[in-house]
Structure formats: structure tokens, C-alpha cells
Amino acid sequence: MDVNGKRVLICHVGSIGKAIWARFEDAGATLGEFVHGDSIPHGEVDIAICTSGRMLIQHPQTVWESAVAEMLHLNYIIPRVFTEYMLAAGEKLVIHIGSNSARYGKSYAEDYAAAKSALAKYCEIRGALASKENGARITYINLGGVNNVFWDHVCGAPGFDSDVAANLIPAEGKGLTNAEVAELVLAICLLPENVCVKDLLVVAKAYQ
């Protein structure tokens, strides 16, 4: 599928979202940003991409209920609602930028891993139903560490544990780049419409 002229909607345009936006724009797509509550006319979007997420690195006993709720909201609820908006609008390809924490969660990031795992399982089960209902495809990408400003927010959060984080945050040059993630997403969109990438694990060679 050629993305030239396609209408692409991105939910949460952070650093990865901006890279995806730029790459798809270069490829000739028309971009838009999804804001929760937006009305999406049927047939107005060709490709939907969600990059919503946030992480905490601290001992679980120090994570307040409100912080857990925020983690679930950003890592599961928003992507889940976005998916249903898109499917209701007749969208045929929904891509979620997830995390390898959905498979390999680590201590001090339990809530993040749990939320990403919930989204991965939702995409798996919902994708099977969506395929039967209208031929839609739902892709969940388990990304390994990405070197970007995402970690600046993590390191600046209250209760952040720098000693533990040293084993979780990819060293400079060891993780994927935003541009590489954007190329990956574009490559998935260029696959034949009969091909569905359901659950994909992608890491940088140096991050294994």
C-alpha cells in the first residue's frame, strides 16, 4: 500500500509521533492529530497511529493510586478508546507504539509493564474480532529502548530511582532512534493489505 495521498491520524504527537509525522509527510501522506473527544467522520482516515504512553521508575510502594491511574490512562485507556474511535469510523489499519515491557517487564516499572501488557492483549483479542467484522488490522509494536526525550520525563518524575534506572534506560547510542521507529511504522503501512503484523518485537542490535 502506497501512503502517498493517504490520510494519517496520530494520537499523542510526542517525540516519536513527530518523527512519524515528518516521515509520512515526506512520503506524501496528509497528517492530522487526534484529540480525545474529536468526532471522526466515517471513511475520513486511512491509517491511525497511537504513540501515547508514560513510564515511572520507582519502588511500587511509593507509587500513589493517582499515579497508577494516570499510567493506566495514558498507556491503556487512551489507546483503547482511540482504537474504538477508529474502528467505528471505518478505519482499516490501527498501529500502536508499545513497549517490550509488555513481554519483559522489570522491577520498579511494574505498573508500566502491566498497562502495556493489557494493551497488547487487548490489541490481540480485539484485532481478531475487527478482522472478522470488517477486515481491519490492529498492530501492536513492542519497542525496545528508544533514545529520545521520553526518558527526560521519566527521570524528572517524583520518586525517580536513578540507580535502578541505569539498568532500564538505554545508554546513548544503544537504543533505537525516533527516525528508525518512523521507518518501521512506514514499512508496516507499505505491506499488502492481506498482511497483518499482530505483535512485533523490535530492538536495536546493541540493546539485546
Which pLDDT value is given to residue 6? 94
Check: CB of residue 140 under 8 Å from CB of residue 200: yes
Q: How confident is the model at residue 150 (pLDDT cuts 50, 70, 90)?
A: low
Residue 30: what pLDDT?
Answer: 95
Q: What is the pLDDT of residue 146?
A: 76
Confidence at residue 171, expressed as pLDDT on a 0 to 100 scale: 63
- Long-range contacts at 203-207 (CB < 8 A, ≥ 24 apart): 203/100, 203/143, 203/144, 203/145, 203/176, 204/144, 204/145, 204/170, 204/174, 204/175, 204/176, 204/180, 206/173, 206/174, 206/175, 207/144, 207/145, 207/170, 207/174, 207/175, 207/176
**Shortest CA distance to 16 belongs to which of 202, 192, 208, 159?**
202
Band (pLDDT 50/70/90 cuts) for residue 184 is very high
The predicted structure's pLDDT at residue 114: 93
Query: Is residue 202 helix, strand or coil?
Result: strand
The reported pLDDT for the residue numbered 82 is 94
- Asked whether 140 and 115 are in contact (CB, 8 A), the reply is no
Q: Which three cell numbers stand for residue 36?
A: 480525545
In this structure, the chain runs to a length of 208
Residue 157 reports pLDDT greater than 60: no
